[in-house]
Copies of this chain bind each other. A is one copy, B any other.
Amino acid sequence: MKKKYVFSFTEGDGKNKTLLGGKGANLCEMTQIGLNVPPGFVISTEACLAYLDSPGKELPEGLMDEVRSHIRELELATGRGFGDTENPLLVSVRSGSALSMPGMMDTILNLGLNSETLPGLIKQTGNERFAYDAKRRFIQLFGKVAMGIGDEDFNKALEAVKVRSGARSDVDMTVADLIDVAELFRQVVAENRLTPFPDNVWEQLTISIKAVFDSWMGKRAVDYRREFNITPEMCNGTACNVVAMVFGNMGNDSGTGVGFTRDPATGENVMFGEYLVNAQGEDVVAGIRTPKAIQGMKSEMPDLYHQLEELRYKLERHYHEVQDFEFTIEKGKLYCLQTRNGKMTANAMVRTSVEMFAETLLSKEQALLRINPEHLEQLLYPGLDPSFKGEPLATGLPASPGAASGRCVFDADRAETLGRNGTNVILVREETKPEDIHGFFASKGILTSRGGKTSHAAVVARGMGKPCVAGAEGIRVDTEHRQAQVGSQILHEGDVITIDGGTGNVYLGEIPTIEPEFSDQLHTLLGWADEFARIGVRANADTPHDAERARYYGATGIGLCRTERMFNAPDRLPIVVDMILADTSEERQRHLDRLLPIQRGDFFGIFKTMSPYPVTIRLLDPPIHEFLPFEHVLVKQLEDLRGLRKGLLSMTRFIDTVQLLDSDVHAHWMQGLDRLPLNVRELDVEAVERAVATRELMLQRVRTLREVNPMLGHRGVRLGVTIPEIYKMQIRAILEAEAECRKAGIEVHSEIMVPQVCNEAELKWVKKYVDDLRAEVEQVKGVKLDFKYGSMIEVVRACVTAGKMARTAEFFSFGTNDLTQAAFSFSREDAENKFLPDYQTLGIIDENPFETIDVEGVGPLMKMAVERGRATRPDLKVGICGEQGGHPASIRFCDHIGLDYVSCSSPRVPIARLAAAHATMVESIFDY
């Protein structure tokens, strides 16, 4: 039996994309579920391969006979004739392989037009202009696609006619113009090719089919397949789709439109769309007429509206998804030309998921899986009004999502002063330090000109859930003069700007923003996600307030409580600085004793808020010089203080500098400001001397503590070992807070975590502090404590020696920021400003490994740590608290290697909960 190469849409197997290509199979499916698809047929990929394999590039024997018989069917179905002069059948010809890929042949429309059929088309449509426009489009498409003539020549001819006729755009061209264009296009073809433009419609069709098949071996297509490793097993050859053209411009019983089966903005279960009577799709695109809302059809074309409603119902019942479809009405008959899954807002996705489950259109799994977790970000952070279309003033890195407007302020103190007065403030800095923390609290958003997505500003902003744009290098911040320069523009203190932490854009002026909403439907959906998820979701939270937010977003524990954040609060930083400046262990202890009750109170509050969920507390991590001002700031302050003493300062500097004095002296001076000009002789010389002495000491410490590579420096457990007093105070605060909770009947599951550990000896060393303090606290407080002791796994060596680590650690928590930094030897504070963007542009690195776990390079280290750790301690609890913990692909990987939980910033918890459910539903694709 001869091989069958051609399949009518009514007979082709809608699931067989290999044979029919994606587009062909889809058209078959639509036809067979009863949608009015224009009649057509598919020439199979097998025909393509047979053609390409044949010695003389001949279409397989009998193929054109099959085609002819299918064209005959189209003629019967449409009542038109292919090449007929009265009522011509026109067709479109398209390629379509199993996987969609660029570089394949474009569509040829209106095939079947020639000198003889053109009058027929004019008669049928009553629209001469449309017919000539169709003709010139056909010539260009055919000439380009089937004959290989570049667009430029056609466009040049078109421009020439437009110039001559004075038409500003295509729509201004008259019939005569279009006739001229068509003639010129014929000449273009004649000049470029030896063979003339085929007037015979069968010749047109045969050449087009061959052109479709040839395009499979075109350079771009071949390159694309090689680039993306598309093998013949995955996709081989292209099919060719031939479809009868239908026209919506055949009178007032014709029309065209697009529709959504539900409202894509709100998700409401009503049809949504637009249509035009007596028009073709191009008319909508060209913007000649304004389409009407689809609801208007109800009165204008009630029958057709009813058909559309039927179509909507059929589509959703069949596809189990909101559909975005195109339709044309030709002389009262509705054709569905195309349908695909509808793109919707996150809100609409959530609502339709919940409602379509109720309507039994979706299972819970389907309702969850159809939503991309990242999409939920829209619902969790304020965003710019999507209708806003303005040019950004500058662009940095999207460091913490959300949008905010406010007045520029260039230092944290001013931000605090203005913020307290209710002014919306954006803190603009070159980079931030812990000493700026009060400015963060007071600001709506943070903008820095240096630093990456893991810079201090970015991490703190994310932790607080405030928008941040970091490393906007086009902005030159001049703190001294309280202004910033962007190109030639100067931003003064008080100028209003808007930052979008989701895109990294910075705008001048106030741009309207949309507030997030955590709807009941989202709650329902996430509840379902929790039913399916295997891996738990915790939040990173540093204060009782943070812990409340964590619970609000549905976190079932704190995976990372950063104790240094507590050190940074404005009431504590001075004590911390005193502690760092201490010369003896005793003096240091004295300052730590002041911090103890504060930390204990923090921990108590967090435990209470999170009860009965676990709370993992990380002991001090950053190098202690981070708590001191920058060296150049101190140098400047000293210079100013000396200038103050000599009476050399300008008034602005004078006011700034007086703030450096003891607070009472400062207050005294401020009161005197109305008696300006100030008499320098009134100066409290001793207060100035004190301020100088303190700053000299700080400067000396800053210089002693200076490190070439602070991220790899004297920090974490290295501090814990060499300056034991700090860790001991923190451990005591944790244990005492736990004891107080137990006495108050609050269930606590605290976990003490040591950062930067590289070998078991470090863990054992700190364990001694813990054991001693536990014994003491249990004895003094008269309660039995029950907590876990564990290790951050953020040093490569800790992964390698995890088997030993797990002898002492009862849990592991991956710090994938640092681990990634170490695995790549990329400074995470520098890479994103320096070479990483280039690397991504050049394709050397696909994804920023600081955003999503590098499964190939970092993944094996994590897997090694889990396996070795659990070999020693089978019930070892393992989590992740790095930035990547909130990223869906990373969550999937973490689920895959058996982690117990992920931890991320609170607003990302919903995203993580959904991603955690997804992780259990999709098959593993990890290969490393």
A857/B712 in contact, CB under 8 A: no
Interface string of A600-618 (1 = CB under 8 A from B): 0000000000000000000
Closest to A857 in B: B797
Interface segment out of the listed A1-9, A196-204, A757-765: A757-765
A387 sits at the interface (CB 8 A): no
A800–B861 CB distance below 8 A: yes
Closest 6 CB pairs of A and B: A712-B827, A709-B827, A797-B857, A708-B829, A714-B834, A709-B709
A-B contact pairs, 14 of them (CB 8 A): A707-B829, A708-B709, A711-B825, A712-B712, A714-B834, A718-B835, A722-B835, A761-B843, A795-B823, A796-B857, A796-B861, A797-B858, A800-B823, A818-B825
Please give me the residue from chain B that is nearest to A451 by CB atom: B708
Determine whether the beta carbon of A857 is less than 8 Å from that of B758: yes
Please tell me if the beta carbons of B818 and A796 are within 8 angstroms of each other in the complex.
Answer: no
- Taken together as a complex, chains A and B put the C-alpha atoms of A857 and B796 apart, in Å, by 8
Within 8 A of B (CB), among A660-714: 707-714
Contact between A829 and B721 (Cβ–Cβ < 8 Å)? no
The CA of A838 and the CA of B723, in the complex, are separated in Å by 11
A842 interfacial contact with B, CB 8 Å: yes
Partner of A857, one of B801, B839, B858: B801
- Residue A708 contacts which of B795, B827, B844 (CB distance < 8 angstroms)? B827
In the complex, which residue of chain B has the Cβ closest to the Cβ of A708? B829
- The 0/1 profile, CB within 8 Å of B marked 1, for residues 835-859 of chain A is 1001100111100000000101110
A713-B860 in contact (CB<8A): no
Q: Give the bracket for the number of chain A residues in contact with chain B.
A: 35 or more
A821 on interface, CB distance cutoff 8 Å = yes
| A756 on interface, CB distance cutoff 8 Å | yes
Enumerate A771-803 residues with CB–CB distance to B below 8 Å.
Answer: 794-797, 800-801
Closest residue of B by beta carbon distance from A854: B797
Binding site for B on A (CB under 8 A): 707-714, 718, 721-722, 756, 758-759, 761-762, 765, 794-797, 800-801, 818, 821-827, 829-831, 834-835, 838-839, 842-845, 854, 856-858, 860-861
Q: What B residues does A721 contact at CB under 8 A?
A: 835, 838-839, 842, 844
**A-side binding surface: helix, strand, loop or mixed?**
loop
With a cutoff of 8 Å between Cβ atoms, the chain B residues found around residue A761 in the complex are 843-845
Measured CB to CB, the closest approach of chain B to A327, in angstroms, equals 46
- Given A800-B860, A825-B712, A839-B721: A707 and B845 within 8 A (CB)? no
CA distance A834 to B858 in the complex (A): 28
Also in contact, A830 and B714, with CB within 8 A (given A796-B825, A823-B800): yes
On chain B, the residues within 8 Å of A854 by CB distance are 797
Q: Are B838 and A823 in contact (CB under 8 A)?
A: no
12 more contacts with CB within 8 A, not counting A707-B827, A712-B712, A796-B796, are A708-B709, A708-B829, A711-B825, A711-B827, A712-B826, A721-B844, A722-B834, A759-B845, A759-B856, A759-B857, A795-B824, A801-B856
Contacts of A800 in B (CB 8 A): 823, 856-857, 860-861
- The distance in angstroms between the C-alpha atoms of A842 and B827, with both chains bound, is 30
CA distance A857 to B761 in the complex (A): 13
A714 touching B835, Cβ below 8 Å? yes
Task: Say how far A819's CB is from chain B's closest CB, in angstroms.
Answer: 9
Chain B residues, CB < 8 A from A801: 856-857
Chain B residues with Cβ under 8 A from A824's Cβ? 758, 795-797
Find out whether the CB atom of B710 lies under 8 angstroms from the CB atom of A838: no
Candidates B822, B830, B842; contact of A825 at CB < 8 Å: B822
Task: Give Cα A821–Cα B822 distance, bound, in whole angstroms.
Answer: 8
**Bound CA span A834–B842, Å:** 39
Evaluate contact between B823 and A713: CB separation under 8 angstroms.
no
A624 CB → nearest B CB, Å: 11
Contacts A709-B709, A709-B711, A822-B822 hold; do A838 and B722 have CB atoms under 8 A apart? yes
* Minimum distance in angstroms from A849 CB to a CB of chain B: 9
